[in-house]
Amino acid sequence: MTVAAEMAVCLRLPTRVLYQGKARKLFAVAENGAFGMLPNHIDFVTSLVPSVLILTLEHGSEQIFGIDEGILVKKGDQVDIAIRRGVLGKDLDSLQDSVRRNFIEVDEDERVARSALSRLEAGMVRRFADLQRPKP
């Protein structure tokens, strides 16, 4: 058994890769609580909750991410994380502002899209109802 000094981490959004690189340590929050992970941690899968994800990089600096719900899969020295939404922050203060700004924008876009979809569905139902009415 080889002892790894670092993990290969890939943090993916639905449309792009938010982070890909090596890390010596990872901190995240799952449904059953917060946890830390080192390179030789046992393999596992867990679901993540909206929280802060912290990676300690090869040279000791930290990358801080604000994340939405997602899935973390650790196998060997590879850690794959798939999340719905996420932002990179310089520090916790700027991260809070970024999360608020980006996530609220997306929530507003989703609300507008749902409203448009509801109008479209209502229009289709009216048209089907019109088709079923007997013609004079």
- Structural domain contains residue 49: yes
> What tens-digit pLDDT sequence spans the chain (136 residues)?
567 889 999 999 999 999 999 999 999 999 999 999 999 999 999 999 988 899 999 888 999 898 888 999 999 999 999 998 888 887 776 766 676 667 666 666 677 777 888 888 888 888 877 777 777 6
CA-based angle 68:64:42, to the nearest 5? 75
pLDDT value of residue 1: 54
Residue pair 39/9 in contact by the 8 Å Cβ criterion:
no
Query: For residue 63, is it within any domain?
Result: yes
Sign of the Cα pseudo-torsion (87, 22, 31, 84, in order)? positive
Cα torsion angle, 54, 58, 36, 86, sign: positive
Does a structural domain hold residue 86? Answer: yes
Only one residue has tokens 């876009």, namely 109
- CATH of residue 73's domain is 2.60.15.10
Domain annotation covers residue 133: no
> Is there a domain that residue 95 lies in?
no
Range of the domain at 29: 7-90
CA distances from 9 to 62, 79, 129 (A): 13, 5, 53
Q: Considering its fold, how many domains does the chain have in total?
A: 1
Domain membership flag for residue 128: no
pLDDT at 127: 80
Is 12 among the domain residues? yes
In a domain, 71, yes or no: yes
